[in-house]
Structure 1
Amino acid sequence: MEETIIRLKFCTLTFFDNYVIAVINEGEHVDHKLNEILIENIELHFKKPYVYITNRINSYSVDPNIYHRASEVQNLAGFAVVSKEYKTKINAQIEKMFFGKPFEIFTTLEDAIEWKDQLFEKN
């Protein structure tokens, strides 16, 4: 499986065939500005449906209002949060309420990737 890695000032994006794994840096705050940078970089890579997987191995905050804009991204088929931390999963449950597409929370990357496969099989 071929991958492409892009390192931005606030995160690392690892692109695969139909999904991207984002690792946001420790202490960042993902607001509208950073969200637009993410969307621009991802849209340059994908011209087809994809799933965004955020691997939350670092502690950072997210403005849940970014999800309205993210929901408008045409090729974004789904959103997955991966974390082993209880607090992070609770925060993701709140974020999920702001997102208008499939959004799931997982403990492992493997589970998130399996869900992505199932999501594409259904559609």
Structure 2
Amino acid sequence: MRFEESKYFDLVPHSKIEFSFGKFYLCKNFVISELHEGVHFDWDKILEVIGALLDYYGDGLEIAYISNRVESYSIEPQLWHRFHKEFGFIVAVATVAYNDFGYINASIEKQFAKISLKRCDDLSEALSWIKHLNEFSQN
């Protein structure tokens, strides 16, 4: 389910940023991404998103990332390693997979991530997990 179609859209304060390749919802401690069908989420697109996140949150940000995979897209799993080496401000990732293919892809990405990556069946599970992370228990 898309974030805008969920009950959380009106409950969770957020700002929305749209790129040619997808939508990003910036919340207090986390970001929700929904990439468009068939997109290849490469390093250039990642840098575009990072620029927007730094503009919004400022330096010293520490956030979680929810990949709400309502559409099928691709990413090179090893980009997680590069991201953590160069930036590292994402403390945890929840991937919402709506089919077996999405779950398998999330499992592959999990092998490359140096942080906690949880595979979830729905947005509710992802948001609950993020809310209970130790990194954000004081917020």
Q: TM-score, normalised by structure 1?
A: 0.90
Runs of 4+ in 1 over 6 A off after TM superposition: none
- Identity across matched positions, percent: 28
Number of the residue aligned with 2:68: 55
Provide the secondary structure at the position in 2 that maps to 1:17: coil
Number of the residue aligned with 2:98: 84
Pick the aligned partner of 2:32 from 21, 28, 37.
21
Number of the residue aligned with 2:41: 30
Aligned residue identity for 1:68? H
> Would you say the 8 A contact 2:97–2:106 is kept in 1?
no
Deviation, structure 1 residue 34: 1.4
Count of aligned pairs: 122
Pick the aligned partner of 2:82 from 51, 65, 69.
69
> Would you say the 8 A contact 2:13–2:28 is kept in 1?
yes
Aligned Cα RMSD in Å?
1.5
What per-residue deviation string (whole Å, max 9, x for no partner) do you get for residues 78-98 of structure 1? 111102211110111001111
- Decide which structure has the larger Cα Rg and report it: 2
Deviation, structure 1 residue 2: 2.0
Unmatched 5+ residue regions in structure 1? none
Number of the residue aligned with 1:111: 125
